[in-house]
């Protein structure tokens, strides 16, 4: 009897949802992001990217107005993220779910997307498995293995690095980056001569850098989370006399993000990183994007922003393709294989995995006009997520 | 007044008087059914309120009644959450036995911890519980093979409750499941507190040296209540895992320990309903404020806290009790009481 009651309740709710969707012309997008706490800045930059897109391309698609509903999931809280997503679907009757800065939050929300058959766009969360959680999910950010494995292979083949010393932060993304880099590096003939992991909350890198210096490796592979740590790392490198031009320093894009470069100063010169986006890129789309972004946010965009921007692009274009139809099946079908020119360069959605396919840029920090910036020295095009490519189909 | 007359009649009379159900309590528990009828779209929030209330109740047992300060109670909540999650991941998704497992696991951990806890008081306890919480968080972070590390535990799948009720998108099953468990464990706590054991806990809170002097086994009592409290926190954690089918490091976070303390202080520590009222107010306020402004919603919550601590030192319930207990209020309501034939 109880089950029938539940059935009845959900049926009426679904009917009510369908009716309200027909009755009004707006398309509701529910954004779940981290807007408070430790990861607030990431959420805010993502939102700025979304706002920039809506300023450039308006808030009407396929004759229907777009309405945004924002929710704050706080920090790493999949239970909260899942509940908020549930509420967006059940209470606010949203048509599309988007946002998601952190992997655990995106994974939890994936269940809701799968059950409610809602199109979900992941605008950051960078662990490979995220998109496997729901058949209605697509991602417009990046996957860490995409960067790490591309970089590992590039280092061993193009840069001719034979040996490296691995230094990563002892937490999920650090492990993932290390695993990806080392795997590709070894496959291409490289050798890892040692490794060390720093605690997440340890901004004093001197002892670790000294240990690496004593071994005197040909190169050092480094992963630290963005924020205050890259600056501390840069200082430690300079103090211990590790010259990036002699010992190659290979890192992920966060290591040389805008703020990190500013605080590192000249200590950053020569560091080589791999990443999918940098605000200094000179292609016209990016110049325009950075300009409008600055009008809105009074600062420069970062990779969270581009994830949000391209996420909105994907939503707009799929809606155009479906003629305003918002059911999960139509939208994900439209999203599969979609290609476009983003400010980051050409990108597309893999029709098999619904994950992002894009160019990975290899950059070196050089002084341009007195400021250290990331200068692209090489690029690898059409990179798919390597982890899912290896998964049995 | 009832309390003075009961005190004159001896402690057993006093306890019996405390144990009697008041009309307001019946109204409160009936009101917990309202979300089913009034706000069926808020059931998943309601179930999180019930789980948080249970967690707050578990902290109240040790903090409010036995005076054991803890800044790391999330350790047991998280331990239970992971226990339930890991059990389900390895193929046993039956909710009730999973919950029992979570409770026993957290209770065992609490029992071991209680030997340390019983030796210290006040500031030392804060440091110990805080450190213990952080240690467990780091342990869970590094044991990625078991807990899934920073990505959270993957593959938690619950079987339908009692083989019939699936955990649905609307949170219908989740709410009545959490509510029934909250009610049952509330009954247990109520019985516990209104027993001679509960009375001696209050004695320990007020003056532990004197309790020892009159021959009460302070440490054994503390060990007992700490274990019970840990098991209850574990069950609350297990409930969260089962109703959301997710577990991540967030369940062990310091923030959770701090939030639950805030909730208890807000509602009123040392009162059975304190944690319950605190959880309702905190989570509903958070939901509403963060709906209005997702970025700065902590601000009004902070103001609320400051106001409560400044003007109602005993929490919301403590404040209410103060108001209803005052001469003026008594004078005001006396005519009503007489009218209802209940002359005080």
ipTM of the complex: 0.77
- State residue A267's pLDDT score: 82
- Per-residue pLDDT of B156-200, as tens digits, reads 888 888 888 888 888 889 999 999 999 999 999 999 999 989 989
Best mutation target among B151, B153, B258, B293 (most A Cβ atoms within 10 Å) is B151
The residue that leads in pLDDT, A203 or B122, is: B122
Helix (H, G, I), strand (E, B) or coil at B253: coil
What are all long-range contacts of A290-298, with beta carbons under 8 Å and residues at least 24 apart? A290/A343, A292/A52, A292/A55, A292/A56, A293/A48, A293/A49, A293/A52, A295/A55, A296/A48, A296/A51, A296/A52, A296/A55, A297/A45, A297/A48, A297/A51, A297/A52
Min distance B129 CA to chain A CA atoms (Å): 20
Both tokens assigned to A120? 């979900």
Q: Can you spell out the DSSP letters for A298-327?
A: SS---HHHHHHHHHHHHHHHHHHHHTT---
- State residue B177's pLDDT score: 94
Min distance A151 CA to chain B CA atoms (Å): 23
- State residue A202's pLDDT score: 61
Mean pLDDT of A184-193: 93
**Fold entry, domain A11-142+282-354:** Rossmann fold (3.40.50)
- Per-residue pLDDT of A126-165, as tens digits, reads 888 899 999 999 999 999 999 999 999 999 998 889 999 9
- Per-residue pLDDT of A223-246, as tens digits, reads 988 767 888 888 888 888 888 888
Residue A390 has pLDDT above 90, yes or no: no
- State how far the Cα of B271 lies from the Cα of B264, in Å rounded to an integer: 9
- Per-residue pLDDT of A43-61, as tens digits, reads 999 999 999 999 999 999 9
Min distance A197 CA to chain B CA atoms (Å): 11
- State how far the Cα of A77 lies from the Cα of A81, in Å rounded to an integer: 6
Closest CA to B15 of B27, B3, B1, B29: B3
Mean pLDDT of A13-17: 45
- State how far the Cα of A177 lies from the Cα of A274, in Å rounded to an integer: 11
A-to-B residue pairs, Cβ atoms closer than 8 angstroms: 125
State the first-to-last Cα distance of chain B, in angstroms, to the nearest integer. Answer: 7
Residue A5 has pLDDT above 50, yes or no: no
Partnered with residue A221 across adjacent β-strands are A166, A250
- CATH 3.40.50.2300 residue spans of chain A: 11-142+282-354, 145-275+360-390
Tell which A residues from 37 to 76 touch B, by Cβ distance under 8 Å.
37, 40, 44, 70-72, 75-76
- State how far the Cα of B73 lies from the Cα of B264, in Å rounded to an integer: 12
Chain B residues whose CB is inside 8 A of the A172 CB are 144, 149-151
Cross-chain Cβ contact B154/A129 below 8 Å = yes
Residue A200 has pLDDT above 80, yes or no: no
- State residue B343's pLDDT score: 42
Q: Is A8 an 8 Å CB contact of chain B?
A: no
- State residue B335's pLDDT score: 59
- Per-residue pLDDT of A307-320, as tens digits, reads 999 999 999 999 99
Residue A24 has pLDDT above 60, yes or no: no
Chain A residues whose CB is inside 8 A of the B251 CB are 79
Please name the residue of chain A whose CA is at the shortest distance from the CA of residue B148. A172
Q: How confident is the model at residue A250 (pLDDT cuts 50, 70, 90)?
A: very high
For the domain covering A145-275+360-390, report its CATH number.
3.40.50.2300
Chain B residues whose CB is inside 8 A of the A6 CB are 165-166, 168, 170, 172-173
- State how far the Cα of A247 lies from the Cα of B11, in Å rounded to an integer: 78
The β-bridge relationship of strands A272-275 and A339-342 is unpaired
Residue A18 has pLDDT above 80, yes or no: no
State the first-to-last Cα distance of chain A, in angstroms, to the nearest integer. Answer: 41
The residue that leads in pLDDT, A122 or B344, is: A122
- State how far the Cα of B54 lies from the Cα of B188, in Å rounded to an integer: 12
Q: What is the mean pLDDT of chain A?
A: 88
- State residue B8's pLDDT score: 57
Helix (H, G, I), strand (E, B) or coil at B296: coil
Low-confidence residues of chain B: pLDDT under 70: 1-9, 332-344
The β-bridge relationship of strands A371-383 and A356-368 is antiparallel
- State how far the Cα of B221 lies from the Cα of B199, in Å rounded to an integer: 11
- State residue A176's pLDDT score: 87
All domains in chain B, ordered by first residue: 32-311 (1.10.3470)
Nearest to B152 among A9, A37, A104 (CB): A104
Q: Which residues contact B328 (CB under 8 A, 6 or more apart)?
A: none
- Per-residue pLDDT of A273-293, as tens digits, reads 999 999 999 999 999 999 999
Min distance A338 CA to chain B CA atoms (Å): 28
Q: Residue A303, by phi and psi: left (phi above 0), alpha (psi -120 to 50) or beta? A: alpha
Min distance A26 CA to chain B CA atoms (Å): 19
């Amino acid at each position: 009897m109880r089950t029938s009651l539940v059935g009845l309740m959900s049926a009426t709710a679904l009917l009510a949802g369908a009716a309200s969707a027909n009755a009004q012309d707006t398309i509701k997008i529910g954004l779940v992001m981290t807007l408070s706490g430790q990861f607030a800045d990431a959420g805010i930059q993502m939102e700025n990217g979304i706002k920039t897109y809506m300023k450039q391309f308006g808030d009407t698609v396929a004759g229907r107005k777009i309405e945004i509903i924002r929710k704050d999931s706080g920090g790493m809280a999949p239970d909260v993220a899942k509940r908020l997503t549930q509420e967006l679907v059940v209470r606010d009757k949203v048509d599309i779910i988007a946002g998601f800065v952190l992997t655990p939050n995106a994974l939890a929300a994936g269940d809701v997307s799968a059950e409610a058959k809602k199109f979900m766009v992941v605008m950051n969360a960078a662990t490979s498995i995220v998109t496997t959680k729901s058949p209605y999910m697509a991602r417009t950010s990046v996957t860490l293995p995409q960067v790490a494995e591309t970089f590992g292979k590039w280092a061993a083949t193009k840069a001719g690095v034979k040996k490296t010393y691995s230094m990563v932060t002892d937490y999920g993304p650090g492990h993932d980056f290390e695993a990806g880099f080392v795997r590709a590096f070894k496959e291409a003939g490289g050798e890892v001569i040692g490794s060390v992991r720093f605690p997440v909350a340890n901004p004093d890198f001197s002892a670790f850098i000294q240990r690496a210096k004593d071994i005197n490796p040909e190169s050092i592979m480094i992963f630290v989370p963005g924020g205050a740590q890259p600056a501390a790392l840069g200082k430690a490198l300079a103090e211990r006399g590790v010259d990036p031009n002699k010992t190659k320093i290979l890192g992920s894009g966060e290591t040389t993000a805008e703020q990190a470069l500013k605080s590192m100063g000249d200590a950053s010169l020569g560091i080589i990183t791999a990443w999918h986006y940098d605000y200094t890129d000179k292609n016209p789309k990016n110049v325009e994007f950075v300009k409008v972004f600055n009008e809105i946010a009074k600062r420069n965009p970062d990779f969270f922003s581009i994830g949000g921007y391209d996420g909105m692009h994907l939503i707009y274009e799929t809606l155009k393709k479906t003629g305003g139809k918002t059911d999960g099946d139509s939208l994900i079908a439209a999203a599969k294989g979609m290609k476009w020119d983003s400010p980051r360069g050409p990108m597309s959605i893999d029709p098999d995995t619904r994950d992002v396919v894009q160019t990975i840029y290899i950059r070196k920090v050089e002084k341009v006009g007195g400021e250290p910036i990331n200068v692209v020295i090489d690029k690898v095009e059409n990179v798919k997520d390597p982890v899912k490519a290896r998964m049995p189909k | 007044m009832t309390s003075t007359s009961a005190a004159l009649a001896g402690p057993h009379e006093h306890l019996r008087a405390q144990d009697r159900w008041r009309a307001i309590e019946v109204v409160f528990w009936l009101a917990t059914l309202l979300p089913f009828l009034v706000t069926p779209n808020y059931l998943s929030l309601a179930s999180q309120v019930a789980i948080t209330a249970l967690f707050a109740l578990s902290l109240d047992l040790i903090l409010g009644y036995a005076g054991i300060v803890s800044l790391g109670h999330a350790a047991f909540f998280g331990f239970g959450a992971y226990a339930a999650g890991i059990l389900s991941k390895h193929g046993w998704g039956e909710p009730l036995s999973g919950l029992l497992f979570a409770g026993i696991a957290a209770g065992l951990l609490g029992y071991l911890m209680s030997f340390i806890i019983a030796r210290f008081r006040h500031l030392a306890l804060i440091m110990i519980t805080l450190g213990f919480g952080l240690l467990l968080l780091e342990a869970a972070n590094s044991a990625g093979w078991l807990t899934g590390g920073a990505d959270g535990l993957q593959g938690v799948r619950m079987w339908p409750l009692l083989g019939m009720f699936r955990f649905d998108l609307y949170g219908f099953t989740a709410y009545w499941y959490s509510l029934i468990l909250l009610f049952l464990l509330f009954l247990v706590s109520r019985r516990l507190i209104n027993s001679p054991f509960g009375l001696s806990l209050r004695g320990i809170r007020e003056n532990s040296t004197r309790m020892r002097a009159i021959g009460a086994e302070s440490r054994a009592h503390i060990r007992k209540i700490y274990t019970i409290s840990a098991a209850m926190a574990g069950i609350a954690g297990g409930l969260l895992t089962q109703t959301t089918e997710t577990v991540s490091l967030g369940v062990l976070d310091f923030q959770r320990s701090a939030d639950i303390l805030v909730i208890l202080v807000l509602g009123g520590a040392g009162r059975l309903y304190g944690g319950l009222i605190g959880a309702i107010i905190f989570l509903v306020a958070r939901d509403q404020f963060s709906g209005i402004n997702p970025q700065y919603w902590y601000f009004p919550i902070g103001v609320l806290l400051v106001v409560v601590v400044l003007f109602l030192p005993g929490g919301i319930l403590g404040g209410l009790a103060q108001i209803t207990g005052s001469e003026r209020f008594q004078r005001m309501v006396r005519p009503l009481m007489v009218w209802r034939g209940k002359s005080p």
